[in-house]
Structure 1
Amino acid sequence: MMCVKAAVPRAGWWRRVISLGLPTLWGAVAIIFAVGTGLVVHGRRALLRELRQARRVAGAAQSVLLRPLPPRVDGLTVAAAQMSADRGATIGGDLYEVVATEHGVRVVMGDVRGHGLAAIGTAAAVLGGFREAVHDEPDLGGVLRRLDRALARHLRGHAERDGTDSEEFVTVLVLEIGAGGELRALNCGHPWPYLLSGSVVEPLSCADPMPPLGPFPLPGDLPGLHCGHLLPGETLVLHTDGAEDARDAHGRFFSLAECLRGAAEAPPQAVLGRVFTALLDHTGGTPKDDVALLVLRNDRQLQPTQGARGTARATTSHPQPTTHLT
């Protein structure tokens, strides 16, 4: 009987310990959970701040590298835009520029291997070389050689810093539009532009391009390829391969030529919107590669002596200064 009486107080003491300990334990768990949740929220906010900062930096880099093009360049109406496949960046490996020079309007469209922020340095080297060379070099071959040397210097410096050989390359199309609409081009591995003339949509040339810049030396002779004329009212659409390589959910490629049919009369900015909208619809809003488009329309005045496409024509005059005002 004494043993039974002794066990009762012990059991009551244990129940009191449990009754006091459980609330304390649950309180500790709640505190730990609250602290952990606070740390997670704080970490998430810090990451979002860093992401916003990275995007601001990328936007600043874009404004310097792919600076906005003027709406008109020497009688040509211009519009350009790019869409990066990297959601964390506002800029990819595509590059473009349009410059009026004493040799004609000179244009470059290029695509650096890869995409995202890592491609900015290479694109900057090529664009910097182009912006300087177009005013100095009287022919396109000299411009292209300057781009090749600028890229080689960049890749050599990259290799010296990292201690590894760089395997980067750049596809480049260099184009010249003369005062009378004469077209000359040099193409290093880049898609040919589309020419929009009335209801006709066709590649500017079917010639085989040279290899991309970087892996192989340029040939000794670089005469610009004559590609006919860009007549008043006609449009050129330059693009990177991300446009025609885009696929839908069934693996079907995007048809840029079909998308451009009926767009010859549209202003260049409207052509951009039309193509990008169709691209996003085709890919379900998730393109796998960077895409850049550059649209040039010849809005110079047609002279009475000018003939139809493919025939000899006199020079094309530029609009009077008053026609530039809007």
Structure 2
Amino acid sequence: MGLLQRFTQRSRPRQAGDALLVLPLALIVVIVMVDVVALGLPLGPSLLIVAPALTASFASTFVTGAIAAIAMVGMLVIGLDAHLLGTMDFDSQFVALLVVSVIVTVFCYLNERRARELALVRMVSEATQRAVLRPLPRRIGPLRVASMYLAAQSQSMIGGDLYAAIRTATGTRLIIGDVMGKGLTAISDAALLLGAFRESAHRQADLPELAAYLDHSVCWNLAEPSEAERAGECFITAALLDIPDALPLIHVVNCGHPPPLLLRGRHASALHATRPAPPLGLGELTAAAYHVDTFTFEPEDLLLLHTDGVIEARDPLGVFYPLTERAASWTLHSPSALIHHLRTDLLAHVGGHLTDDAAVIAVQHTLRRTPTAVGTTHDNA
């Protein structure tokens, strides 16, 4: 199916171009025939200039140049038939056709080169996204997972939002975060944090140790000599989650990030942190203590992680997107269906264009487990 779709997408523009090519060719033929039949009274050799100009709007550089050459040959036929070669009026029309043909052909070439450059930029953007923000699989251990990333910049596929998942010996660890700022600097900071998370998530014994390690990594990056002016001016909000395979629990350390939503029984509730930690990168300035909050997570529940690009999205009237209210109507959906509805509804709310990057992860546990008492918390100073 993928190969068929690619072939269809490429062949449709080509077929449309071939059909449109009949117009300039027919125009040239009609003008030449009318002028030849006009018994020495050429009526429209100057109209031949329309043929290459029209072709440049839909055809390639080579085809545009070919149509221009045919138009010039047609004008020469008219000149020979009417004995106009060498006259000032005919020569001026021929030069005008030649000049316009060169201009539209060059324009067509520049347009093609720009299209190739944009295609290359998109290809590099896609490669960057795959390398930095790897797509989450549909299944991670006993979890069903779906994710979505919407970049605010139209030519970009990745920005300062991030997410990742790592399997451990006892469960799955997730991170979702948002880098302050935009552009290449935000992408660089997101790549740094994701690399540190993937390298350490399976090594650190608990979430507070993992949060402290990630904070140290971000602070260390900002203390680099070339980035000294950024120290204290950049931070990353993040939520770290540990979901055990065999227990109906979620352990969460929230570092200044919007709280996850728990969807259960047609209700959506925010999992607010008891004592949220400061964003990553500010730990050395505030002597952060990382507090773990534990919540129940039953097999029928849905967990929705998101960045502030979702809840701060505004419609044309300035109204924020009501994520909690909308999500409450999707509690009975699968993670992939929930993401699909959320994407469609969010883009409709903002009129098709976001002003900030938005990332979302939906998670559902598939194992039937025995309920266990919850409420255990601990700190790491």
TM-score, normalised by the number of residues in structure 1: 0.80
Report whether the alignment pairs 1:124 with 2:195.
no
Report whether the alignment pairs 1:134 with 2:201.
yes
* Contact preservation (8 Å) 1:86, 1:115: no
Report whether the alignment pairs 1:31 with 2:98.
yes
Q: Which residue of 2 aligns with 1:14?
A: none
Once the two structures are TM-superposed, the CA of residue 180 in structure 1 deviates from its matched residue by: 1.0
Q: Which residue of 2 aligns with 1:224?
A: 291
TM-score, normalised by the number of residues in structure 2: 0.69
Report whether the alignment pairs 1:234 with 2:301.
yes
The residue correspondences of 1:118-197 to structure 2 (distance < 5 A) are: 118-157=185-224, 160=226, 164-165=229-230, 167-178=233-244, 179-197=246-264
Give the helix-richer structure, 1 or 2. 2
Report whether the alignment pairs 1:83 with 2:183.
no
Q: How far does the alpha carbon of each residue in 1:39-58 deviate from its partner, in whole angstroms, 9 at most, with x for none?
A: 22211111110111111111
Q: Which amino acid aligns with 2:128?
A: A
Q: How far does the alpha carbon of each residue in 1:127-172 deviate from its partner, in whole angstroms, 9 at most, with x for none?
A: 0100111111111121112212322343344x51x78536432111
* Contact preservation (8 Å) 1:91, 1:116: no
Q: Which amino acid aligns with 1:231?
A: E
The residue correspondences of 1:1-326 to structure 2 (distance < 5 A) are: 20-102=87-169, 104-157=171-224, 160=226, 164-165=229-230, 167-178=233-244, 179-205=246-272, 207=274, 209-215=276-282, 217=284, 220=287, 222-303=289-370, 306=371
Q: Which amino acid aligns with 1:134?
A: A
Distance (Å, rounded) in 2 between the aligned partners of 1:214 and 1:206: 19
SS in 1 for 2:326: helix
Distance (Å, rounded) in 2 between the aligned partners of 1:117 and 1:47: 22
Once the two structures are TM-superposed, the CA of residue 75 in structure 1 deviates from its matched residue by: 1.3
* Contact preservation (8 Å) 1:204, 1:227: no
Once the two structures are TM-superposed, the CA of residue 254 in structure 1 deviates from its matched residue by: 0.7
Q: How far does the alpha carbon of each residue in 1:298-324 deviate from its partner, in whole angstroms, 9 at most, with x for none?
A: 211133xx38xxx669xxxxxxxxxxx
Q: Which amino acid aligns with 1:165?
A: R
Distance (Å, rounded) in 2 between the aligned partners of 1:55 and 1:207: 42
SS in 2 for 1:296: strand
Distance (Å, rounded) in 2 between the aligned partners of 1:43 and 1:152: 45
Distance (Å, rounded) in 1 between the aligned partners of 2:333 and 2:283: 40
Structure 1 spans left out of the alignment, 5+ residues: 1-18, 314-326
SS in 2 for 1:33: helix
* Contact preservation (8 Å) 1:175, 1:186: yes
SS in 1 for 2:174: strand
Q: Cα–Cα, structure 1 residues 279 and 33, in superposed 2: closer, same or farther, change >3 Å?
A: same
SS in 2 for 1:183: strand
User: What count of residue pairs does the alignment treat as equivalent?
Assistant: 288
Q: Which amino acid aligns with 1:302?
A: R
Q: Which amino acid aligns with 1:105?
A: T
Q: Which amino acid aligns with 2:234?
A: E
Q: Which amino acid aligns with 1:190?
A: H
Q: Cα–Cα, structure 1 residues 73 and 222, in superposed 2: closer, same or farther, change >3 Å?
A: farther
Higher relative contact order (CA 8 A, sep 6+): 1
Q: Cα–Cα, structure 1 residues 195 and 39, in superposed 2: closer, same or farther, change >3 Å?
A: same
SS in 2 for 1:262: helix
SS in 2 for 1:191: coil
Q: How far does the alpha carbon of each residue in 1:270-293 deviate from its partner, in whole angstroms, 9 at most, with x for none?
A: 010010000011111111111110
Distance (Å, rounded) in 1 between the aligned partners of 2:241 and 2:289: 13
SS in 2 for 1:90: coil
Distance (Å, rounded) in 2 between the aligned partners of 1:218 and 1:298: 38
Q: Which amino acid aligns with 1:38?
A: T
Q: Cα–Cα, structure 1 residues 154 and 206, in superposed 2: closer, same or farther, change >3 Å?
A: closer
Q: Cα–Cα, structure 1 residues 146 and 45, in superposed 2: closer, same or farther, change >3 Å?
A: same
Q: How far does the alpha carbon of each residue in 1:2-36 deviate from its partner, in whole angstroms, 9 at most, with x for none?
A: xxxxxxxxxxxxxxxxx954544444443333222
Structure 2 spans left out of the alignment, 5+ residues: 1-85, 376-381
Q: Which amino acid aligns with 2:240?
A: V
* Contact preservation (8 Å) 1:113, 1:168: yes
Q: Which residue of 1 aligns with 2:78?
A: none
* Contact preservation (8 Å) 1:94, 1:240: yes
Distance (Å, rounded) in 2 between the aligned partners of 1:40 and 1:164: 44
Distance (Å, rounded) in 2 between the aligned partners of 1:182 and 1:106: 12
